[in-house]
């Protein structure tokens, strides 16, 4: 396979002052991408801030012969994000790639969680992704090109104890991806999601000591680059970690039809096994496909022509 190149491409990467974001920035810069390194420079829980984290990574890229600028935008503040995009356009003329990577953690069981902590995590992960994407959407539509990645997580896709806020946000960005990939398709804007496993500040102490050497940030960035290249897929949830790569898919079973006289909760309960039968499960391309599926099932039984 030919080498994946990104000549004359420009990327904004949020949360790129350390961890996965830094790894993504260095990997893209090594292949010719001009980088806007965004990082508020706060702690894992989102408190505090410092410009040095983003500036250090930008300088690292420039020392290696690449092009980069730093910006400390808080992704939850639209004015900050707009200024970041303005600075990116002033420096490089256009933006082709957005990697929504910024995130914080405030873990606690739902019973004990303060709602301010729930909202803070939702704001950074979900609304931060919304803000950055919105700030670039018109620009990408006008240029007829865009590659956007949402950072999801197994905590959102499958759940994880003590992470109701994080899980809700991480599933939220999947929903955002599902609609934006439809709205952006005719403008050559591809939107994908990355579900990473890596040893970073946010996962400190999570893995056994021997696994830290396996779950490198570089092994995840190897999966990111195909999601933002010219030949990138659209609407893929790519899971990556420790050299493992897999696709997470949202599917729907074919299900059943109950005529009006049998539409009772008792019948639904009695037929749950049949409802959950995966034999004819399918990936639906948009929400309306579910509506039409149920409509055709009912129409066939009732003798109605649609």
Chain position carrying tokens 């990138």: 232
3-state secondary structure the chain: CCCCCCCCCEEEECCCCCHHHHHHHHHHHCCCCEEEEECCCCCCCCCCCCCHHHHHHHHHHHHCCCCEEEECCCCCCHHHHHHHHHHHHHHHCCCCEEEECCCCCCCCCCCCCCHHHHHHHHHHHHHHHHHHHHHHHHHHHHHCCEEEEEECCHHHHCCCCCCHHHHHHHHHHHHHHHHHHHHHHHHCEEEEEEEECCCCHHHCCCCCHHHCCCCCHHHHHHHHHHHHCCCCCCCCEEEEECCEEEEECCCECCCCCCCHHHCCHHHHHHCHHHHCCCCCCECCCCHHHHHHHHHHHHHHHHCCCC
User: Does the annotation count 166 as an active-site position?
Assistant: yes
φ, ψ of residue 95 in degrees (nearest 5): -135, 130
Catalytic residue among 145, 158, 166, 187: 166
Residues designated catalytic: 166
């Amino acid at each position: 396979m030919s080498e994946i190149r990104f000549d004359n491409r420009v990327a904004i990467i949020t949360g790129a002052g350390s961890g996965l974001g830094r790894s993504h920035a260095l990997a893209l810069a090594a292949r010719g991408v001009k980088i806007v390194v965004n990082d508020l420079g706060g702690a894992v829980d989102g408190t505090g801030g410092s410009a040095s984290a983003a500036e250090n990574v930008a300088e690292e890229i420039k020392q290696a012969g690449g092009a980069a600028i730093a910006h400390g935008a808080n992704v939850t503040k639209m004015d900050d994000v707009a200024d970041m995009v303005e600075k990116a356009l002033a420096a490089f003329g256009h933006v082709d790639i957005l990697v929504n990577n910024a995130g914080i953690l405030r873990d606690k069981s739902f019973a004990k969680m303060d709602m301010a902590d729930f909202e803070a995590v939702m704001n950074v992960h979900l609304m931060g992704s919304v803000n950055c994407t919105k700030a670039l959407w018109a620009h990408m539509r006008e240029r007829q090109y865009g590659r956007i990645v949402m950072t999801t997580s197994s905590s959102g896709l499958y759940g994880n104890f003590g992470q109701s806020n994080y899980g809700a946000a991480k599933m939220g960005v999947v929903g955002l991806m599902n609609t934006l990939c439809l709205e952006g398709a005719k403008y050559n804007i591809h939107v994908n999601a990355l579900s990473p496993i890596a040893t970073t500040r946010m996962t400190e102490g999570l893995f056994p000591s021997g696994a830290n050497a396996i779950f490198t940030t570089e092994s995840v960035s190897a999966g990111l680059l195909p999601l933002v290249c010219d030949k990138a897929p659209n609407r893929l949830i790519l899971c990556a970690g420790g050299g493992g790569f897999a696709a997470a898919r949202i599917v729907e079973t074919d299900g059943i039809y109950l005529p009006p006289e049998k539409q009772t909760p008792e019948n639904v309960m009695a037929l749950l096994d049949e409802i959950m039968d995966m034999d004819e499960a399918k990936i639906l391309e948009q929400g309306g496909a579910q509506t039409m599926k149920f409509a055709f099932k009912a129409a066939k039984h009732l003798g109605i022509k649609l």
